[in-house]
Structure 1
Amino acid sequence: MSFPQGTASAPALMVPDGTCLRYGDLRRAMSPWQKATATLRDKGLVLLFADNSLSTALCYLACLESRHTIMLADPALNERAVSRTLSAFQPELVVRPPRTLRLPDGYLPADEAIWRRSRIDTSPVHDEPALLLMTSGSTGAPRVVCLSRENLFSNADSIVRALGITETDRAITSLPLHYCYGLSVLNSHLARGASVVLTHQSPTSRGFLRQLAETGATALAGVPLTYQALWPILSRQWPSTLRTLTQSGGVLNNVSGYARLAVQRNSRFFVMYGQTEATARMAVLDTAAHPEAIGSVGRAVPGGKFELLDSGEIVYRGPNVMLGYADRRADLTTGDRMDGVLRTGDLGSLRDGNLFLRGRVKRIAKVAGKRISLDEVESAFRALDTTAVVESEGVVMVFCMAEVDAARELGREICADLGISPAYLRIRQVDNLPYSAAGKIDYQALK
């Protein structure tokens, strides 16, 4: 399977201003980007600062078509982070760099949208890497996940089958395209001949749902933060075209509420589980078909399989498992190093084939001589309100949006259950928590 593939007259990419590229128009629309990469050697590296624009989507598709390797980066990366990335990976082309960035040493402006490396003295890129997605680099050394065309196409096919996507579906970009979940929405819909609406609007903004309705979008993807913000709106006013909702990126407290609401609106609500290292998604739960499994992330996507180590760590096997990590250009000279097996770093259990998550292996802290799961403590506090828990110098720090008195009372109960003194648990009331661009709690910022 590959993408894009749809009938020539069918809409593929749409912009709320009325622009509509049909599948028959895509090759012509990609040609300027293919010309820009035509001067590269057999296989070059292109760094694309990927917003949710039509030009981003076309550049991405053109690089896949030309079989160059493309790295997607957050346009909000600061100059220091960009400098580290350029130094480590030495891309031949830098596309759509933020206007605030200065032209770095070793690069020349090809036009206002492209920087070109002034000398070609880099290591060749192996045939397999097609896409690089950043997992770190905002505050430290850059690290990317290396994905192959097979990874992309197989995971797109798995998602199509798991969600039952058809050519009549139309997704809207409610997540960044440089984030694996947001990119997988684009990939899976173009793989099935469906369409995608490209918008810069935040899914929690007033204009987003208006654009969703005006463009006839049928599918919405979001992280817990998205759905928490949308609940007061969607529970009162459901867009008439909306029929599929998917949620991933962490624990959503109100899964049952959304499951009931979707059924009432003759729609479907899917809970999903994924990692960048597995291209995007590894498991899916159709809450309408399996209400008894709510609380889990469902079963492995078609072609995938879960196993548990004795420690409880989840191991995933499938054709969507990455080739490996890369920290510098030289790491791109080799192919697959994973053999389709991924130790996820997550803890969980399997019941009747459904996967239940219990937290992260690395989110285990040593407090008062006891091993404590920070995720379990966070889950216990979630009964009050949105909470984040970190460990600092042997103390469990709880950042809670609930009233302090209620949080302290619950904290005493939790400490009793854990067998530690309340002196090892400190509660701070906050108005907001820091979140990453992917909509996940930024624990490093809290530390």
Structure 2
Amino acid sequence: MNSFGVQARLIEAASGRSWSGPGLEAYVHAMENELRTMPAGLLLLPAPWTIDTVCRYLAAFRQHRPLALLDPQIDLGTLEELIVRFEPAGLWQPGLEQLPPAGYRNTAHGWIRQTSAAAVSPDLALLLTTSGSTGAARMVRLSRQGVLANATAIVQALGITAQEIAPTSLPFHLGYGLSVLNSHLQAGATLVVTAHPVIGGDFWAIVDAYRATSFAAVSHTYELLARLRWTPSAHRSLRTLTQSGSRMRPDLIAQIAEDIGREGGRFHLMYGQTEATARMAVLPAHRIADKSTSVGLAVPGSRLSIRTELGEETCEPDLSGEVVFRGPSVMIGYADSAADLARGDDQGGVLHTGDIGHFDHEGYLHLEGRLKRMAKLFGMRINLDAVERLATEAGAEGPTVAVAPNDEVIVLWCESETEPGRLDTISRQVAERLRVNRHGVLARSIEKLPLLCNGKIDYRALTQAAAVSEAPR
């Protein structure tokens, strides 16, 4: 095996079995044999947290075979839409019972394309979606170099060592969860592989049984845990907590930091995007008391700047503008169709994040908001334009606009849709497609959508109205 993951240990929580060294090598080699039965080109890989999936991922990485990591609960319609868009070589999922789509045949290891797949760039390692399982989402193209560079940067920023033990607490197919996996593989640490939800006793029994030393979660998860009166000090082996995603309440940050600090542990706030492979900035744990409104400093090997409205880039304090990230972990570009898979590096290591922020006088980054039509709901980045398309598919007959007044709800303003039952159906179906909590999407009636003088939708007025639960006049 190459250096990536060679010293790591994988534990299957359900059985207690572990793999490392020659045993892990043999497991990955078996998955390489599966891979050799698949034709050249992109492979779709639904990614549940299992030892098989982790070893398939490592096998593909070693063999320079690009993967699109997918939600393991992806619906058949979305899967077929991705197949039409990206013309992959196959779907790597043994034991499939569903009939393959036209142009594919079923084999022991999944669906295989019967004609040549779309050409792919030799730099392409991964495709990740920017918005969970939504099929209409753009895909992010990540390079092999970028994946390894980000893993190395996170190891350095968090001080991850071979003694760390991390449970799989985040989805495999999303950037943050993948980053936890990659950084621990890079450090030769231990991963306890489990699919148990974090909000449940089984997960925390596993944390205690295997003496996990770290735990990663998005803000919403910490909020849910706090409501259950969870405290990190109740799990004596925990030493490192990390958070990324939407902004956390300052009082909750202080509560968690104080609790883990009493046991000699640390709590890191972070900032990341899939477009940068994962995490771009980390707040040192010892500054959390006086910098809790900051997301920290750029990860090693990278740098941050602010692009002002005049188009100038600066690192001066107290100047607001778009956050720009530079580093080897920046994606090589987006993919909307099969033709994009053969493209080279469109970004040149530069990412205009779409987030607004500023630096303080010590160079720490503080985020203020977002420029474009993206929302973060329960830690998951969601394209609001795609949400509007989902609302139409769910039955919204008139013009519909999606806004996000905060990080806990998306409000759909449905023009002339007055029937409460229909609004409830639209809310429920969109939430199901996004795979978020039912209360995370709310459809509201509006007589007429407000427009700006140029005839465009007044998104600001709709967002402000959503925050006070009153339709704009």
Q: Given the two structures, how large is their TM-score scaled by the length of structure 2?
A: 0.76
Counterpart in the other structure of 2:258: 260
CA deviation digits over 1:203-243, x for unaligned, max 9? 11111100111012111100112111222443386211111
Deviation (angstroms), 1:334: 1.8
Tell me the matched-pair count: 390
* Secondary structure in 1 matching 2:234: coil
Aligned mate of 2:111, from 115, 124, 142: 115
Deviation (angstroms), 1:95: 1.7
The 1-side partners of 2:158 and 2:367 are apart by 21
Deviation (angstroms), 1:346: 0.6
Deviation (angstroms), 1:2: 4.7
**Aligned residue identity for 1:241:** S
Counterpart in the other structure of 1:292: 290
Deviation (angstroms), 1:387: 5.2
CA distance 1:39–1:322, shift in 2 (3 Å): same
Deviation (angstroms), 1:299: 0.6
Counterpart in the other structure of 2:366: 356
* Secondary structure in 2 matching 1:313: strand
For structure 2, list consecutive stretches of 5 or more residues without a partner in the other structure.
310-320, 376-402, 416-426, 445-473
CA deviation digits over 1:150-203, x for unaligned, max 9? 100000000000000000001100111001100111100010110101101001
Preserved contact between residue 224 and residue 439 of structure 1 (Cα < 8 Å): no
Deviation (angstroms), 1:63: 0.3
The 1-side partners of 2:436 and 2:198 are apart by 12
Aligned mate of 1:269, from 256, 267, 270: 267
Aligned mate of 2:208, from 204, 210, 213: 213
Report 1:91-130 matches (<5 A). 91-96=88-93, 101-111=98-108, 113-119=109-115, 121-130=116-125
* Secondary structure in 2 matching 1:234: coil
Counterpart in the other structure of 2:5: 4
**Aligned residue identity for 2:159:** G
* Secondary structure in 1 matching 2:198: coil
Counterpart in the other structure of 2:84: 87
RMSD: 3.0
Counterpart in the other structure of 2:34: 36
Preserved contact between residue 133 and residue 434 of structure 2 (Cα < 8 Å): no
* 1:135 has 2:130 as partner: yes
Counterpart in the other structure of 2:329: 320
The 2-side partners of 1:140 and 1:49 are apart by 13
Deviation (angstroms), 1:99: 5.5
Report 1:330-409 matches (<5 A). 330-351=339-360, 352-362=362-372, 378=406, 388=409, 390=411, 392=413
Aligned mate of 1:168, from 127, 143, 163: 163
Q: Which moved more, 1:160-169 or 1:78-87?
A: 78-87
Q: Given the two structures, how large is their TM-score scaled by the length of structure 1?
A: 0.80
Deviation (angstroms), 1:35: 1.3
**Aligned residue identity for 1:61:** L
For structure 1, list consecutive stretches of 5 or more residues without a partner in the other structure.
366-373, 379-385, 395-429
Deviation (angstroms), 1:140: 4.8
Counterpart in the other structure of 1:59: 56
Counterpart in the other structure of 1:402: none
Preserved contact between residue 223 and residue 439 of structure 1 (Cα < 8 Å): no
* Secondary structure in 1 matching 2:286: coil
The 2-side partners of 1:271 and 1:98 are apart by 40
CA distance 1:81–1:393, shift in 2 (3 Å): closer
Deviation (angstroms), 1:48: 0.3
Preserved contact between residue 88 and residue 142 of structure 1 (Cα < 8 Å): no
The 2-side partners of 1:305 and 1:72 are apart by 28
Report 1:67-82 matches (<5 A). 67-82=64-79
**Aligned residue identity for 1:326:** A
